[in-house]
Structure formats: C-alpha cells, structure tokens
Amino acid sequence: MLLHSKIEGNGSPLLILHGYLGMSDNWKTLSTQYAQNGFEVHSLDLRNHGRSFHSDEFNYKVMVDDILHYCDHHNLDKINVIGHSMGGKLAMFLAVLHPEKVEKLIIADISTRAYRPHHQDILQALNAVDFSLQKERKEVEEVMAHYVPDFGTRQFLMKNVYRKSPDELAFRINLKTLTEKYDDIGIAVPENTTFEKPTLFLKGENSGYIKERDEQDIIRHFPQAEIKIISKSGHWLHAENPKEFLELSLSYLVS
C-alpha cells in the first residue's frame, strides 16, 4: 500500500515526515514555501496517520519500507528529508540503513537515543473519547481537556478528528495500534550505524528533546552533523518559529 501525500513544486525531491499523532497538514505552510524555493515537496502521512492506510504493524523497519516503496512508486532516486520528532527518528533510520537514498537530512528536535514513554496523558485523552457519546467537536475537546490542559496541544490533537458521516465523528489516526505499539517509537538509532553525508539537527531553544549529552552520540552516528538552535521555540519549533526554521533549513538545503 502507498502512503498518502501532498506533492507540490518542481526540482530536487524533498520528503517531509511528521511526528507521532501528526499529519502532513501540520507542514502545509512550510511545504508551500519549500516548493516556491525550487523543491518538489512530498508531504507524507505516515502509516496509521492522516489519510494513509491503517495497519497492525507499526515500527521503524516497516515505516522505512513504506518510504522506499513510496520512492520507487514516484521514481525518486535521491531524496532530501526533513523529519520532526518521530518523523526525525524515522528519517535517521532511513539514512543509516539506506545511505545511498538520502542526499541531505534535517532532523527537527529529536536525538539518536532512546526515549522513555512520555505521551501517556495524550493517549489517555484520546482513548477517553467515545464517539457514540461525543457527537460534536466541542464535546470531544471537553473530554480531552480533563487529561490535556494545554490548549495548543489539544488543538494539535483535534486535527485528527473528522466527520465520518453526518452523524458520527472519528479519528483519522489508528488509535488502537498507535497506543499498543507506542513503546516501539522511543527506541534508539541502531548501534554501529552511520550516515556520512551532511546532516542538520535543529533544536528548539526551550525544548529538552536534544540535550548537551546527546551531542556525542549524534556525531557518532552522523559525523558531518551540525546542531543549530531555533530561538523562542519548544518541541514544535517549526510551528512556533516558522520563519527561523525556514531560513536555517533552506540555507542548508541549497548550500
């Protein structure tokens, strides 16, 4: 099965990989700006997300295979990749396992190390929703608010809610699999793997996802890596400071 995508622009292929519980639509504005600057942009919905297919399998190995299948289908020989959070870890797996496929790599606010589970409140919120009872978006958000007080996070999650029929809402994500396979997403980049080509790590100034102690391990896997900070931003750096994110990423991609 083929991943759903939005394709725009002409030029060097650039794949954008969203994070856990996200979708290609999260990158809509930046995707258009990359397309306007000489790239053929492929904004993907990863499996079990957005408008892509649902599957009981969910790990980096099968997701790497999804990307390779997508590239074969669209005759993409060499690609540039931007990945955020889970999408950044997926981009790293792709690059170290298939270095011949990737030209330039941008990793947004995720390191090579393993991460402990830390989305429990969000998964509780999503699993507390009962669409047989909550018929309106406002009612869904009210349920989520008991678990997720932050308004911005709730709005991000609410992007996954759509009207399945005139009388029924539903999630676009495959919540069952994403909940059951959550631990598989936190794993580290495989030992003794490297990607020798240029790589840019972008870190949110106020985010704790990339720590100083991570830099040595990043360089071990990505010897040509640069780590730069996006000011006035946390984990959602591309949404919180899109101007600086665009400037730094474009400067790197066209150099």
Q: Judge if 157 and 221 occupy the same domain.
A: no
Same domain, 146 and 233: no
- Per-residue pLDDT, averaged over 4-14, amounts to 98
What pLDDT, in 10s, does the model give residues 122-166?
999 999 999 999 999 999 999 999 999 999 999 999 999 999 999
Cβ neighbour number for residue 75 with a 10 Å cutoff: 7
Does 106 lie in the same domain as 60? yes
Condensed to tens digits (0 to 9), the pLDDT of residues 191-237 reads 999 999 999 999 999 999 999 999 999 999 999 999 999 999 999 99
Residues 192 and 84 occupy one common structural domain: yes
User: Does 125 share its domain with 169?
Assistant: yes
Write down which residue in 156, 180, 204 finishes a domain: 180
**Is there a single domain that holds both residue 191 and residue 105?**
yes
| Count of structural domains within the chain | 2
User: How far is the C-alpha of 236 from the C-alpha of 243, rounded, in Å?
Assistant: 13
Looking at 162, 180, 198, the residue that finishes a domain is: 180
Within this chain, do residues 136 and 79 fall inside the same structural domain, yes or no?
Answer: no
Is 70 in the same domain as 48?
yes
Residues 53 and 90 in one domain: yes
Which structural domain range is residue 163 located in?
A: 120-180
> What pLDDT shows up at residue 231?
98
Residues designated as active site:
85, 235
The residue from 132, 161, 180 where one domain ends is 180
CATH code of the domain in which 206 resides: 3.40.50.1820
Q: Taking each helix axis as running N to C, give the angle between helix 151-158 and helix 137-145, from 0 to 180 degrees, rounded to the nearest 10.
A: 140
Statement to judge: residues 129 and 89 lie in one domain: no
Same domain, yes or no: 171 and 250: no
Question: What whole-number distance in Å separates Cα of residue 34 and Cα of residue 56?
Answer: 33
The verdict on 222 and 148 lying in the same domain is no
Q: Output the pTM of the full model.
A: 0.97
Question: Could you tell me which of 240, 17, 235 has the C-alpha nearest to residue 115?
Answer: 235
